[in-house]
Amino acid sequence: MASTAERGTWGSRAGFILAAAGSAVGLGNIWGFPTQVGQGGGAVFVLIYLLCVLLICLPIMVAELVIGRHAQLAPVGAFDAISPNTRWWLVGVLGVLAGAGILSFYSVIAGWSVAYIWFAGTGALTGDAETVEAFFATFTANGPLSIALTLVILGTTATVLVGGVQSGIERVTKLMMPALIVLLLVLAIRAVTLPGAAEGLAYYLRPDFSRLFDPTVINAALGQAFFSLSLGMGAMLTYGSYLGKQESIVTAACWVVALDTAMALLAGFIIFPSGFSIEGFDPSASGPGLIFAVLPRLFATLPGGQLFGAAFFILLTIAALTSTISLLEVPVAHFIDVHKWPRPKAVLLVTTVVFLIAIPSALANGAVGFFSTLPGFGTDFLSLMVVIWNNFALPIGGLLTAVFVGWVWRVDRAIEEVELHGSPFPGRALWSVLIRWVCPAAIAAIIVSAIVSM
């Protein structure tokens, strides 16, 4: 196992926040959030999502960072070091599986984003709403192309990881994140001033309370919150292990959560107003293709739309890559730490396995009928992966993490780690209650009622 000196720490607090935010901000915010809002009935989903972020995910973010920084190890090793001779290391194994599972569908969508850089830049995405939608359908029905694009994303991610972890991530994220924020703001301003935007804003902001207690909606909101914040699978735990002892964990956690949530909300302000400005738009009908159908129409309303479109998909691809890097790093670090594999071997083997699991997702949007409408599931393979990993695996990982910190390692030791070198821990009494009682009970209730209502 590498010592602290060999593992390195972040260049600065800003560097850590950028890297962790780089993991958090990605397709989850710009593709996942609007898609889920569309399927979850609009504003009511947004409301439940925000409650999940504040009451469940923020405390678990602190918990993951604390475990990582205390143990200075990747997930499996960290659980084992804090609670030796128990089975808690299995939580780390769940994270390793979730990392591979999520990466498998994630790299398919990121591959679409790569292709759309080209399509947007060359003006292939013009025409009315129907043409743009038909273009997406034809594109994703091309199986070999989807598989090749998935391989481009996985290959790039693997190349970065063979070279070591942070040095690159910190630098790239520092440039990409501000650029993405500015571009999203410009797009949001354009979107809310389109004719028909008011209807979209109402859909996005005025909750239909009749779905407030729909277990499927609540489960999807919880899963989306975990997915978007990179929680429940040890990614943040791993980043925490690189966080300096003098840094404030609470400040870092709040920054990452605030940035990530702001970016997701901003994406909603782009997609729904521009979606509703299109005749006959139904946000619940589009599925994974929602943003690819709506955004080209928005770019077309901007002067220099082709350039905007290409710039948008470039930034989205980079944002996705800073996330795929953290997704792949969890299983890779596991095989390096626990099985003592050399880094290149670990990267090559994990990437190959992920690629094989990714193939059905790449074929699930029209290329192969079986994967596109899974008999008996009423959904496509890719959407099924989202449900399995985001809605179930991540929240279960988060639940176990909360129980571990709250009851096994115990909150006073975690608090001690947070307060090292005089770092403040505002709201620590509230945090203790949330992590011991509220997080486990709420997650368990949501998962059980989702299963029962299936």
Q: How far is the CB of 129 from ligand PHE (least distance, A)?
A: 26
| 228 is a contact residue toward ligand PHE (CB under 6 A) | yes
Q: What is the 3-state secondary structure (H, E, C) of 408-443?
A: HHHHHHHHHHHCHHHCCCCCHHHHHHHHHHHHHHHH
Q: Two tokens at 283?
A: 């946000």
Which of 9, 29, 39, 351 contacts ligand PHE by CB under 6 A? Answer: 29
| 323 is a contact residue toward ligand PHE (CB under 6 A) | yes
Alpha-carbon distance of 386 to 279, in angstroms, equals 29
| H helices, E strands: number in the chain | 24, 0
| 109 is a contact residue toward ligand PHE (CB under 6 A) | no
Alpha-carbon distance of 135 to 33, in angstroms, equals 23
Number of C-alpha atoms within 13 angstroms, CB side, residue 331?
26
Which of 102, 197, 318, 347 contacts ligand PHE by CB under 6 A? Answer: 102
The residue among 247 and 329 lying less far from ligand PHE, judged by its C-beta, is 329
Which of 233, 249, 310, 396 contacts ligand PHE by CB under 6 A? Answer: 233
| 227 is a contact residue toward ligand PHE (CB under 6 A) | yes
The CA-CA-CA angle for residues 97, 334, 328, to 5°, reads 60
The residue among 286 and 322 lying less far from ligand PHE, judged by its C-beta, is 322
The residue among 29 and 432 lying less far from ligand PHE, judged by its C-beta, is 29
Alpha-carbon distance of 204 to 195, in angstroms, equals 16
Alpha-carbon distance of 435 to 389, in angstroms, equals 22
Q: How far is the CB of 102 from ligand PHE (least distance, A)?
A: 6
Q: How far is the CB of 444 from ligand PHE (least distance, A)?
A: 21
Q: How far is the CB of 29 from ligand PHE (least distance, A)?
A: 5
Nearest-CB residue to ligand PHE?
28
Alpha-carbon distance of 158 to 353, in angstroms, equals 12
Q: Which residues, 6 or more positions from 218, have their beta carbon under 8 angstroms from its beta carbon?
A: 48, 446, 449, 450
The residue among 113 and 228 lying less far from ligand PHE, judged by its C-beta, is 228
Of 8-16, 25-33, 187-195, 303-311: span binding ligand PHE (CB under 6 A): 25-33
The residue among 60, 25, 76, 16 whose CA lies nearest residue 330 is: 76
Which of 19, 22, 23, 355 contacts ligand PHE by CB under 6 A? Answer: 23
The residue among 266 and 411 lying less far from ligand PHE, judged by its C-beta, is 266
Q: How far is the CB of 161 from ligand PHE (least distance, A)?
A: 13
Neighbouring C-beta atoms of residue 284, cutoff 10 Å: 13
Which of 17, 19, 27, 188 contacts ligand PHE by CB under 6 A? Answer: 27
| 326 is a contact residue toward ligand PHE (CB under 6 A) | yes
Alpha-carbon distance of 189 to 407, in angstroms, equals 47
Alpha-carbon distance of 116 to 126, in angstroms, equals 12
The residue among 23 and 248 lying less far from ligand PHE, judged by its C-beta, is 23
Total chain residues near ligand PHE (CB under 6 A): 15
| 24 is a contact residue toward ligand PHE (CB under 6 A) | yes
The residue among 113 and 230 lying less far from ligand PHE, judged by its C-beta, is 230
| 354 is a contact residue toward ligand PHE (CB under 6 A) | no
The residue among 329, 233, 256, 234 whose CA lies nearest residue 13 is: 256
| 28 is a contact residue toward ligand PHE (CB under 6 A) | yes
First to last CA, the chain: 44
The residue among 29 and 219 lying less far from ligand PHE, judged by its C-beta, is 29
Handedness of CA 249, 447, 208, 129 (dihedral sign): positive
The residue among 197 and 328 lying less far from ligand PHE, judged by its C-beta, is 328
User: Does residue 380 contact residue 371 with C-beta atoms inside 8 Å?
Assistant: yes
| 26 is a contact residue toward ligand PHE (CB under 6 A) | yes
| 230 is a contact residue toward ligand PHE (CB under 6 A) | yes
Of 108-116, 118-126, 185-193, 230-238: span binding ligand PHE (CB under 6 A): 230-238
Of 21-29, 34-42, 163-171, 414-422: span binding ligand PHE (CB under 6 A): 21-29
Alpha-carbon distance of 223 to 268, in angstroms, equals 17
Task: Kindly tell me the burial class for residue 304, based on how many C-beta atoms sit within 10 Å of its own C-beta (0-12, 13-18, 19 or more).
Answer: exposed
Beta strands in 193-268 (DSSP E): none
Q: How far is the CB of 90 from ligand PHE (least distance, A)?
A: 19
In the complex, the residues that contact ligand PHE under the rule CB under 6 A are: 23-24, 26-29, 102, 227-228, 230, 233, 235, 323, 326-327
